[in-house]
Amino acid sequence: MRQASIERKTAETQIKLDLNLDAQEPVDIKTGVGFFDHMLTLFARHSRISLVVEANGDTWVDSHHTVEDVGIVLGQAIKRALDDKAGINRYGTSFVPMDETLGMASLDLSGRSYLVFEASFDNPKLGKFDTELVEEFFQALAFNVQMNLHLTILHGKNNHHKAESLFKATGRALREAITLNPEIHGVNSTKGML
């Protein structure tokens, strides 16, 4: 089973995360940031992974440290669970419509970190969640998985729909990329490693 458990404690956050890339249950997200819990649950369901997150952060300041640090730990867990990445597709792309919104995620589990983020939000908050933290989360995720991640809102108006389409699309693209392909022998790279 491709799985990882990570605990991270800083002066700002305490995070415990359990991940299994080859199971779909359980999914249980408790970060203290309601909208973020909703987004991570969608991400887990659409990537068809088991994800348990318990985070306690300095949310009396704001949600920034909690959201960013969960992105860091989730990225580290995915990287650890993938090990040498032998047999995986490596690439994944998904377009997800949410009513008037169309979001796209395309990723490469290349071992190189890069984020392209082409999305804007008209409303600075969704509940108590700062919409600028969508990019912060994906930045932390991409850099700790060590993947190229391209995210785009092709069109849309509703800020909730925009965020949701990106989390769902990233989950679905990740599922495609981490899927073991019997036609791939070793690592899907001419370099022999990712």
Residue pLDDT, tens place only, 149-173: 999 999 999 999 999 999 999 999 9
* pLDDT for residue 1 is more than 90: no
Q: What confidence tier does 51 reach under pLDDT thresholds 50, 70, 90? A: very high
Q: For the chain, what is the HEC assignment? A: CCEEEEEEECCCEEEEEEEECCCCCCEEEECCCHHHHHHHHHHHHHHCCEEEEEEEECCCCCCHHHHHHHHHHHHHHHHHHHCCCCCECCEEEEEEEECCEEEEEEEECCCCCEEEEECCCCCCEECCEECCHHHHHHHHHHHHHCCEEEEEEEECCCHHHHHHHHHHHHHHHHHHHHCECCCCCCCCCCCCCC
User: Do residues 173 and 94 make contact, with C-beta atoms less than 8 angstroms apart?
Assistant: yes
Within 10 angstroms of residue 135's Cβ, the number of other Cβ atoms is 16
Q: What is the predicted pLDDT for the residue at 124?
A: 96
Instruction: Note the pLDDT tens digit of each residue in 91-131.
Output: 999 999 999 999 999 999 999 999 999 999 999 999 889 99
Please, which residues bridge with residue 152 across strands?
A: 104, 118
Q: What is the predicted pLDDT for the residue at 151?
A: 99
Percent of the chain past pLDDT 90, that is, above it, reads: 96
What gap in Å lies between CA 24 and CA 161, rounded to an integer? 24
User: Do residues 52 and 6 make contact, with C-beta atoms less than 8 angstroms apart?
Assistant: no
Q: What is the predicted pLDDT for the residue at 192?
A: 87
Instruction: Note the pLDDT tens digit of each residue in 63-76.
Output: 999 999 999 999 99
- Write down all domains in the chain, each with its CATH number in brackets: 3-178 (3.30.230.40)
What gap in Å lies between CA 89 and CA 47, rounded to an integer? 14
Q: What is the predicted pLDDT for the residue at 128?
A: 86
Q: What is the rounded average pLDDT of the residues 6-27?
A: 98
For the chain, the average pLDDT equals 97
Q: What is the predicted pLDDT for the residue at 77?
A: 98
